[in-house]
Structure 1
């Protein structure tokens, strides 16, 4: 267990703002999806209090083991994790346990990026381990789910919107040239314009 001084001032206000954005329903979706993909029996409490639900969400994922099992279930053969390594083994040494928890979270994040989730949708290890931004943790799991749903052979539940697909269009040379002749209305038009009646400034007066 890590020990940190309680936040105060601006840091505390920022943390309160982040915690207030925690979505109970989204957290439950994430836990449900993880359970369906990994086959693990994850207890999803029927809580409506943000603080209590965030505590449960954090406790379930903090050691990184479920996250590693999640990404391992999505990885193709040949890229699977080796769960026989010490990283995934329990230990009674508190220092080793903390280090392994953080290492597992780091492995999940690395594999998630390799899987195709943008860096902007992942999170820092402390966001989960130190519980500083569980909102971003949910965002990462959601992004991973959306990416997984777009892959061929995916047979898990589809609980998030489908990923946008490319819609490449091809135009002939003739069509491209025809488009160059069209002037968009936002550029304006000088059709029918002339200088008749235009008079700038005072007329020149020639006196004897």
Structure 2
């Protein structure tokens, strides 16, 4: 549980400081505003752009995983939707059970968005959010999910994320491929304009009379 974990010290504290310093409050607030508009849930979003205030607000808002699962459910097809009445989404006064359920919700979110189409490389380990070790990855993951959502043909809502990049597949004929084999790459150098004019290696052979 993050509240019981000892604070970092030494080099770990220095590394964590650098990670926290790269946190973008504008991006974080944009993610929260998008989640609020999609889920219809009411929660406070820090008004200022003070990094650590926005960071704390972002962390506390998403830490239990409930909002992440709600925004996920808003876009999942019916056969993939989460059962929000299950025990995983129920509150409990047992701190150990509460922590386990919060972590499980975060894990469900990262697993389901991969099934939805988000690459695994764009997801984040649970501790990035739950232990707030790298909230930047959480922001990047939410952005990747939003982009994937808006790239689906069935999506007809407002588009607020950058468009997803499209592959540029090129096809070459056999003739073009064979022609390319005859081209000498510049990595091999070039002999254009080269000659042996003016070259004189070694000492000339001397013919001596007896």
- The question of a shared fold, defined as TM-score above 0.5 by the shorter chain, is answered with yes
Pick closer, same or farther for the CA change 1:156–1:34 going to 2, 3 Å: farther
> Matches of 2:40 and 2:92 in 1, distance apart?
24
Corresponding residue for 2:38?
37
So what's the TM-score if we normalise by structure 2? Answer: 0.88
> Matches of 1:202 and 1:147 in 2, distance apart?
74
Residue correspondences, number: 208
Report deviation, 1:181.
4.0
Report deviation, 1:45.
2.4
Structure 2 contact 38–74 (Cα < 8 Å) conserved: yes
Structure 2 contact 24–51 (Cα < 8 Å) conserved: yes
> Matches of 1:186 and 1:11 in 2, distance apart?
44
Report deviation, 1:133.
1.2
Answer with 93-102 or 184-193: which moved more.
184-193
Answer with 117-126 or 37-46: which moved more.
37-46
Corresponding residue for 2:19?
18
> Matches of 2:107 and 2:51 in 1, distance apart?
26
> Matches of 1:32 and 1:205 in 2, distance apart?
92
So what's the TM-score if we normalise by structure 1? Answer: 0.89
Report deviation, 1:170.
2.2
Report deviation, 1:206.
3.7
Q: Which runs of no fewer than 5 residues in structure 2 stay unpaired?
A: none
Answer with 129-138 or 181-190: which moved more.
181-190
Corresponding residue for 1:126?
127
Corresponding residue for 1:91?
92
Report deviation, 1:120.
2.4
Answer with 137-146 or 152-161: which moved more.
152-161
- Once the two structures are superposed, the pairs formed by residues 133-148 of structure 1 within 5 Å of their partners are 133-148=134-149
Report deviation, 1:175.
3.1
What SS class does the counterpart of residue 79 from structure 2 fall into? coil
What SS class does the counterpart of residue 4 from structure 2 fall into? coil
Corresponding residue for 1:8?
9
- Once the two structures are superposed, the pairs formed by residues 47-196 of structure 1 within 5 Å of their partners are 47-183=48-184, 187-191=188-192, 193-196=194-197
